[in-house]
Amino acid sequence: MALDKNDVLEGLTEIIVEETGIDADQIALDKSFADDLDIDSLSMMTILALAEDRFDVEIPDDAVAGLTTLADAVDHIAGA
Amino acid sequence: MPMASASPMIVVTGLGATTPLGGDVESTWRAVLAGQSGVNALDNSWAEDYGVVANFAATLKVSADAVLSPQEQRRSDPSAQYALIAARQAWADAGAPATRPERLAVVMATGIGGLHTMLGAWDTVRERGARRLLPLTVPMLMPNSPAAAVAIDLSARGGAHAPVSACASGAEAVVTGARLIELGLADVVVAGGAEAAIHPLTLGAFARMRALSTRSDSPQTASRPYCVTRDGFVMGEGAGALVLESAAHAEARGAAAKAVLAGVGSSSDAYDVAPPDPTGQGQLRAMRAALAAAGPAVAANLAHVNAHATATPAGDVVEAKAIVAALAEVLGTAAAARSVPVSATKSMTGHLLGAAGAVESILAILALRDRLAPPTINIQELDPQVPCQVVRDRPRPLPPAGPLAALNNAFGFGGHNMALVFATPS
């Protein structure tokens, strides 16, 4: 069953805030994890692991490289 | 071996700690002088669920959650969290020395390492599969994690080291830090130890060695070094950190020395993986080396010993006899050696394992500062085999004037012996 994209964005935002301390206001669909939010690769892996857990989805390792922005991640998780 | 005469003098310019008695150095010290116990019954069901016979320990007085950000807590094992808390305090206490990052080193030890992270991750693997492991699992559980965390926090680029020698680890960090400065490899070293290993596994395993007190009916009087009824140590947790600095560097920036680190010594028993060599020869060699490095002028001022004294039946007596032998060599007579006030502060703090040597170094320095030897609590009847002048119940004044020196011992399973001599600054 596909997940609601707004719910996914909300959940992902919560995870990013908890993990990195980034202000929730800074987080939006068009933001890049690395370039805009300064999230390093291990933090990215942690965020995705927590997202897999929360949304009960799998994000295969070969899909990770394609997840540049929040929108990419939301689409992947919602479409998974 | 004595230090070469060209070795730079090393001073201590900053102290930091989080312990079962207080969230910082001064609150810990006040509680020590007041003879308080940091030991309490653990509020959990471990005794029932797992058959843990010693369900009490000396947990932190101020928990890390109250000090660190949620992100710092999520991204580091409690051992690294405690190290960060102590190191930041020590750094601030030293006045945040403006030193070149390449000349600033960290030596932050742990006895056991990221136990909670490791065992939590194993639970995850078994219950939910390896795919659920978090990517930071290994960096969080490795025993160099506290050293790395502190080096990153302070931008220390002159080396980050993590000596591991069980309950001698925190003192070995100070030994190693001194050597880095002596060898000219660093001007400033943040040295200390951190431990966060209170867990049913460690409590159960130490109890199986009969190293742990099992007085669950009376946790606050369970840690009773030198008492005839002592039955083992009480697990503690926490961290201590010292800023070590070449005297020239401290002087150039106008920093006051809290103490001189006058000499360090280390040895190994090569005897057994758990109990100390019963002749005390290994411990004696460490003390002798530290006193020789301090030199006869400093050693003659030896006025206080913060002993390792964990309250194991065998260990306390072996050390006490070795202390008297070592001090007799520098003070001239056994009678003079026996008259030096000896304190076993683990009676109050519990045994902080890899943090013990660092925290007790700090207590030895504060004893010199305030000219007060801290008490040893819970001695109902002094073991007649202990030949030392044990400070009981209340602090004992040290000579009110003139230079003083104090010895701190720390020994670890495996036969690791560390001895440190601190002196009042001139």
Tens digits of per-residue pLDDT, B366-414? 999 999 999 999 999 999 999 999 999 999 999 999 999 999 999 999 9
Task: Give B4-46 pLDDT, tens digit per residue.
Answer: 445 789 999 999 999 999 999 999 999 999 999 999 999 999 9
Task: Assess whether B111 and B228 both reside in one domain.
Answer: yes
Boundary-marking domain end, from B197, B223, B252: B252
**Cβ atoms within 10 Å of B370's Cβ, excluding its own:** 14
Does the residue B230 lie in any domain? yes
pLDDT in tens, B64-109: 999 999 999 999 999 999 999 999 999 999 999 999 999 999 999 9
Q: What is the pLDDT of residues B121-145, one digit of tens each?
A: 999 999 999 988 999 999 999 999 9
Residue B246, pLDDT score: 98
Of B221, B181, B236, the C-alpha closest to B359 is B236
Task: Mention every residue, 6+ apart, whose C-beta is less than 8 A from residue B15.
Answer: B25, B89, B90, B93, B240, B241, B242, B243, B258, B362, B365, B366
Within a domain: B268: yes
Cβ pair B358, B170 in contact under 8 A: yes
- Beta-bridge mates of residue B227: B382
Phi, psi of B269 (to 5 degrees): -70, -35
State residue A23's pLDDT score. 94
Mark which of B208, B223, B252 sits at the end of a domain: B252
**Structural domain containing residue B148:** 10-252
Within a domain: residue B189?
A: yes
CA distance B167 to B7: 28
Tokens for B201? Answer: 């596994």
B117 and B209 within one domain: yes
CATH code: domain of residue B392: 3.40.47.10
Q: Tell me whether residues B136 and A46 touch, CB distance under 8 A.
A: yes
Give the H or E element holding residue A64: helix A61-64
Instruction: Report CB contact under 8 Å: A46, B134.
Output: yes
Over residues A43-56, the mean pLDDT reads: 93
Residue-wise pLDDT for A50-72, tens only, equals: 999 999 999 998 899 899 999 99
Question: For testing the chain A interface, which of B117, B132, B134 should be mutated: the one with the most A CBs within 10 Å?
Answer: B134
pLDDT at residue number A80: 64
- Does residue B378 sit in the same domain as residue B405? yes
Give which of B243, B230, B205, B254 is closest to B353, Cα–Cα.
B205
B225 plus B201 within the same structural domain: yes
In this structure, the answer to whether residues B167 and B20 fall within a common structural domain is yes
Q: B299 and B241, same structural domain?
A: no
DSSP state of B145: H
Given B252, B273, B305, which residue is the final one in a domain?
B252
Let me know whether B329 and B389 are in one domain: yes
Subunit contact A46:B135, Cβ cutoff 8 A = yes
Q: From chain A, pick out residues whose CB is under 8 angstroms from the CB of B133.
A: 49
Whether B258 maps to a domain, the answer reads no
**Residues B338, B241 share a domain:** no
- Residue B281 in any domain: the answer is yes
Give B275: exposed, middle or buried? Use CB within 10 Å, 0-12, 13-18, 19+. Answer: middle
Residues B62 and B17 in one domain: yes
| Interior angle at CA B279, CA B273 and CA B284, nearest 5 | 90
Residue of B nearest to A53 (CA): B132
* B242 & B268 share domain: no
Residue B380, class by beta-carbon neighbours within 10 Å (0-12 exposed, 13-18 middle, 19+ buried)? exposed
Catalytic, out of B116, B161, B249, B308:
B308
What residue of A is the nearest CA neighbor of B137? A46
* B69·A50 Cβ contact <8 A: no
Q: How distant is the alpha carbon of residue B347 from its chain centre?
A: 14
Percentage, residues of chain B above pLDDT 90: 97
Q: Is residue B112 in some structural domain?
A: yes
Is residue B5, in this structure, part of any structural domain at all? no
Structural tokens at position B130? 């390896």
* pLDDT over threshold 70, residue A1: no
The answer to whether residues B160 and B286 belong to one domain is no
Residue B376's DSSP bridge partners are B392
**Is residue B4 in a domain?**
no
Q: What is the pLDDT of residue A61?
A: 85
Domain count, chain B: 2
Do B127 and B18 lie in one domain? The reply is yes
User: What ipTM is given for this predicted complex?
Assistant: 0.81
Residues B194-221: pLDDT tens digits? Answer: 999 999 999 999 999 999 999 999 999 9
